[in-house]
Structure 1
């Protein structure tokens, strides 16, 4: 069995070494370009990119992220943790799905704690905060959940007096706190998303460095990383952060661009001993892929689907044409990324 499935610790393929080295730089350019272009174009004063192009990149990238979660992470995680090289105990329970579920709940709890802390902090300052309006860079807000009765005359007079009193007091301090809180929630969301993608990208680089079918996988991964970079970059570009955090979008894009090349370089360095089909490699990649899948599934369905569409008042009141354009862009990104799963 060990020979058939190559479960030992021997190295992977060592052919096309020069092309594998060149892949480091090709993928660095592709993934960095995909991630940095939306960020730099959004900040540029001379590069006038139409808003429709930014919208396309944002929604296309959302579709890419969701397809990545299911096709490029969860499916490989299931395959790795059901490998014939693993002990029988690994085949008695769907560990990949359990880890994905664990990851989803862990991210949910982290965000829940963060939002409760932020809301409590604002309440002490006499402010309120809609926790549903934290979508990454969007102006999402929770949709109507019930009938709101109009205020009575007495209530209107009280509200007017309160508002008049508030207007007589400088509000800059409270506005700063509100902006800081919104920035914190955005940074938590993008950090979670980037963490899942970075784990995935490093594993892709390791695999590509020692893969048998290198040439086909190389071409597919160039497109894969460029599309995924576009998805990450479009989210980073729409972050609304204080000036002191202005480096975060660029830093996040650069970090994403480096991960797969670093993975390839490490894989080439250990190519004589690293076997992606070995028992240890299957467990490590299966666990990481499954956990990353949960992160991207949660991000895709909650942050992108729900907050960009269902809870976004601007989108819910938009014209049918704009809505079709947004959903179509997302479906296109999802379809292309899912298609790449046929080869990678």
Structure 2
């Protein structure tokens, strides 16, 4: 697309057209000549890093076709850093809808559906694309909502391809503190399990309505550690959003167990996103039928070790996973 076309669409990038701003650029709403609404991402700076990240986002999004991932319509190459043009998502971000004033936020059913849609799209990125893709910055601010509160994952500037013959790659640490995988933060080694950790933090945020970066400053303990400790002690009511306590029913502990599994310190003990997606679907479907599960508790571990590792209470056999997955066409 031409720069002139995009300038006309945004009235020369008038501030009144601004709909969002982040570390990588400012997003404007634009109206194309055919009256089609689009979102246009304009870089804040023109460093080589900015150029690389915008080109990286073009390369990655052009390979993705998923209903829960924002679509890239085109780009403008007439500027030093490309301008990116996306589908316009009209209803803000998950952060906007979750952290509202007052005691009532998104319903429990909406939160579970949003979590499942996010897990499904991450599972797609990790295992269904030609080359596996790691998002690298999963958080509520990067989950867009349309008018029906359908999930659209956005902001792929820090995303990376993982070569098929490798399990991860070493790169400069990028992302958002509070959601970053501690292993990635300390080693620079980015893997699919880095997205799993970030998703686990987001799931805890959905259950508590507490922001991980704010929580540490208030409580002098990070949110994920406190959540895992209370889960192991059976005291989740101390940290859960009261609305969830009222609406969640008998699957609260199962969903909490999924979150705790995702934030385990040892990457090899975290589930895959496909497993997370399946467990979320099974947990929700348990409202209509009894799921056949085996309770597995390793009582040989000291209690402190169980808290540290964030052991979950449920495991499924491969046969059960196969049978259950057949209920949910992909």
With normalisation by structure 1, the TM-score equals 0.23
Larger Rg: 1
- Give the TM-score of the pair, scaled to structure 2: 0.24
Q: Give the strand-richer structure, 1 or 2.
A: 2
